[in-house]
Amino acid sequence: MKDFAGKTAVITGGGTGMGRELAKLLVAEGCNVAMCDVTLATMEETKRLALKGSPQGTKVATFQADVSIEPQMQSFAQTVKRELDTDKIHLLFNNAGIGGGGSFVTSKRSDWERTFNICWGGVYYTTRAFLPMLMAASEAHIINTSSVNGFWASIGPGRPHTAYAAAKFAVKGFTEALMTDLAVNAPHIKCSVVMPGHIGTEIAANSMAMAEFDSATTREMLNAQGLDVSALTDAQIIEAIGNNFRDTAPTSAAQAAQIILDGVKSERWRILVGEDAKFLDSQVRKMPEEAYTQSFYEELIKHSGWRI
């Protein structure tokens, strides 16, 4: 698929971050886009930005949905058929995700499962819902967003990250297995796994806003880092953490979206996003037994701009 003009794309998590930037780039090429997100207002802003200066006749549809709830994704698919007046789609971007539920041992089970169910279940349910429309197209491509945490299950020593990492490993494994399945049973459909490093998105702020904010634990962690947050409200802390995650990232959401679309056009099944992702990939392959040591993490910080 060398260009996207006249095609139809579905994007989950289209309200902010990479989802928004993907929508903007696709619509600019004349691709019709349908997106879902849990927040309608952010999607409407994405729609406004995407349609600004877009080719005449390009359509953008929005649908409020939680990707971890299968009936909602089935309803989303029916809405796409109706609002875009089509029985087929050409591109499916399983992009939605959140963080949270870091520890399997100490985190609330509800937080752990919410993260896992969105980051993995969302990919599964959305692909199930849209597979008939992908099958109906003459050519199609499924793009599943995993993470560097899909091959390196850590954000550093002493910081549990099990729900997100387990989900992203599942996304990567599913995509790699799906390659053979599609080649045998639906060869006109390609698939790719996207593995971003630290990208400048709102995922940190969105994740904290969606979960029950643990003020005491967060303040204790920040104090241990030498930060005095006693004068800040919980809302100010969430905003500060979210802004810091977004603004210190070595790769912006717009840059990430362009890398992803270039990878799709090149039919790469494995798309690393960011120099930190490339460095991590090479180092984990070179020294897998050391991947979870303090020295490995220090080298990552030193050479790749990793700041999570």
| C-alpha closest to that of 98 among 61, 64, 67, 130 | 67
Say how far apart CA 210 and CA 172 lie, in whole Å: 25
What pLDDT is recorded for position 262?
Answer: 98
What pLDDT is recorded for position 170?
Answer: 98
Angle 170-13-93 from CA coordinates, rounded to 5°: 60
What pLDDT is recorded for position 205?
Answer: 61
What digits encode the pLDDT tens for the residues 84-93? 999 999 999 9
Give 225 or 13, the one with higher predicted confidence: 13
Q: Which of 4-13, 36-45, 100-109, 206-215 has the lowest mean pLDDT?
A: 206-215
Q: In what order do the strands lie in the sheet with 60-64?
A: 60-64, 32-37, 8-12, 91-94, 140-145, 189-196, 270-273
| C-alpha closest to that of 254 among 282, 234, 274, 283 | 274
Buried b (16+ CB within 10 A) or exposed e, 123-155: bbbbbebbbebbeebeebbbbbbbbbbbbbbbb
Mean residue pLDDT of the chain comes to: 90
The maximal CA–CA distance of the chain, rounded, in angstroms, is 60
pTM of full prediction above 0.85? yes
pLDDT range class, residue 156, cuts 50, 70, 90:
confident
Q: Which of 104-108, 159-163, 299-303 has the lowest mean pLDDT?
A: 299-303
- Residue 6: count of CB within 10 angstroms of its CB: 13
pLDDT range class, residue 232, cuts 50, 70, 90:
confident
- Residue 103: count of CB within 10 angstroms of its CB: 14
Q: Which range has highest mean pLDDT (55-59, 190-194, 299-303)?
A: 190-194
What digits encode the pLDDT tens for the residues 247-296? 677 789 999 999 999 999 999 999 999 999 999 999 999 999 999 999 99
Q: Pick the catalytic residue from 125, 164, 292, 297.
A: 164
What pLDDT is recorded for position 243?
Answer: 65
The reply to whether 164 belongs to the active site is yes
2: phi then psi, degrees, rounded to nearest 5: -85, -20
Say how far apart CA 307 and CA 300 lie, in whole Å: 9
